[in-house]
């Protein structure tokens, strides 16, 4: 599979039939996120199902995965309410208080009655996260695996990658999803240690990767440059293969730099023209369906 020669702007790849594996909804001010406080006026408003519905209709995206964006107990209530009113939401990645094992198990019990919840996440930012590999945290992650839930994480640093690899080995039945291309250095044009980290993550068959761009990159990248994506997406495709790679918009966060339709087109174009149709179908929808066990 090659990653050069992306389709021309005159014929961008279609996202029709895709599953958008990562987006958010929120209301301001009750759904307050500290990272939106300054410098991001584009995001300082409500983003709700009706707003995304317009984009899905325009692009032909068939379904989505709604992901938590705030580490507070009320987040799961918001997510479940949104999912109940939005038929295009095929699965939810909820919030879990992972640093408090007793509270985490209690929350899992509360979520057990909601089959739309297909995974969980806890935001770690750039903070050191040695607690992730403590025995009590590993046991919570084993419980996730027993319940058939996936675990999302945004590995921003090399230390985070180390921890994800440790967990992947310790809990081989846990389906792990590394969000946002594991923070590629798009803003600097760098390569290492990101490229080696991608290879290490990919060496664990229970780790998948989201083809998306996170807020950490978007706020440091002076301008969206789709021509830069190919090198990093190509590395991800080379290491993970199409069956462990899933396209994801990260809407509405991506609107800091790009529209929804442009984002989905750019990410798929970055795969290159040498990807076989069956492989492209995996990236567009198949991986997300399997990893999150979404309804067909």
pLDDT in tens, 89-113: 999 999 999 999 999 999 999 999 9
DSSP state letter for 43: G
Interhelix angle for 135-146 vs 101-111, to 10°? 10
What are the structural domains, with CATH classification, of the chain?
Answer: 19-291 (3.20.20.140)
Given a cut of 80, is residue 182 above it in pLDDT?
Answer: yes
Tokens of 69: 């964006």
**Which residue from 133, 153, 71, 127 is spatially nearest to 104, judged by alpha carbons?**
71
pLDDT in tens, 50-94: 999 999 999 999 999 999 999 998 999 999 999 999 999 999 999
The secondary structure element, H or E, covering residue 151 is strand 150-153
Give the pLDDT band of residue 11 (cuts 50, 70, 90): low
Are 26 and 77 a contacting pair, CB within 8 Å?
Answer: no
pLDDT of residue 1: 37
- Percent of the chain residues past pLDDT 70, beyond the cut: 94
C-alpha–C-alpha distance, residues 210 and 198, integer Å: 12
Q: What are 208's strand-pairing partners?
A: 177
pTM of whole model > 0.85? yes
Q: What are 119's strand-pairing partners?
A: 93, 150
Given a cut of 80, is residue 10 above it in pLDDT?
Answer: no
Sign for the CA dihedral angle at 156, 161, 163, 168 comes to: positive
């Amino acid at each position: 599979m090659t990653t050069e020669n992306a389709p021309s702007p005159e014929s961008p790849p279609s996202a029709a039939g895709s599953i958008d594996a990562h987006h958010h909804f929120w209301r301001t001010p009750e759904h307050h996120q500290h990272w939106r406080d300054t410098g991001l006026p584009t995001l300082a408003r409500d983003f709700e199902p009706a707003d995304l519905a317009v984009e899905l209709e325009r692009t032909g995206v068939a379904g989505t995965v709604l992901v938590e964006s705030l580490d507070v107990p009320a987040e799961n209530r918001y997510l479940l309410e949104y999912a109940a009113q939005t038929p295009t939401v095929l699965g939810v990645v909820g919030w879990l208080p992972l640093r408090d094992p007793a509270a985490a198990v209690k929350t899992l019990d509360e979520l057990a009655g909601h089959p739309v919840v297909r995974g969980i996440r806890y935001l770690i930012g750039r903070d050191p996260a040695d607690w992730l590999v403590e025995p009590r945290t590993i046991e919570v992650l084993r419980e996730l695996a027993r319940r058939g839930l996936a675990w999302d994480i945004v590995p921003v640093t090399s230390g985070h990658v180390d921890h994800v690899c440790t967990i992947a080995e310790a809990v081989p039945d846990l389906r792990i999803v590394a969000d946002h291309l594991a923070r590629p250095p798009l803003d600097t044009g760098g390569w290492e240690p990101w490229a080696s980290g991608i290879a290490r993550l990919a060496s664990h068959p229970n780790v998948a990767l989201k083809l998306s761009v996170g807020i950490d990159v978007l706020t440091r990248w002076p301008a969206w440059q789709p021509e830069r994506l190919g090198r990093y997406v190509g590395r991800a495709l080379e290491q993970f293969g199409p069956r462990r790679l899933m396209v994801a918009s990260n809407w509405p966060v991506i609107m800091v730099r790009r529209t929804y339709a442009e984002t989905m087109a750019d990410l798929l174009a970055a795969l290159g023209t040498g990807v076989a149709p069956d492989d492209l179908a995996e990236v567009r929808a198949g991986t997300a369906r399997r990893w999150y066990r979404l309804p067909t």
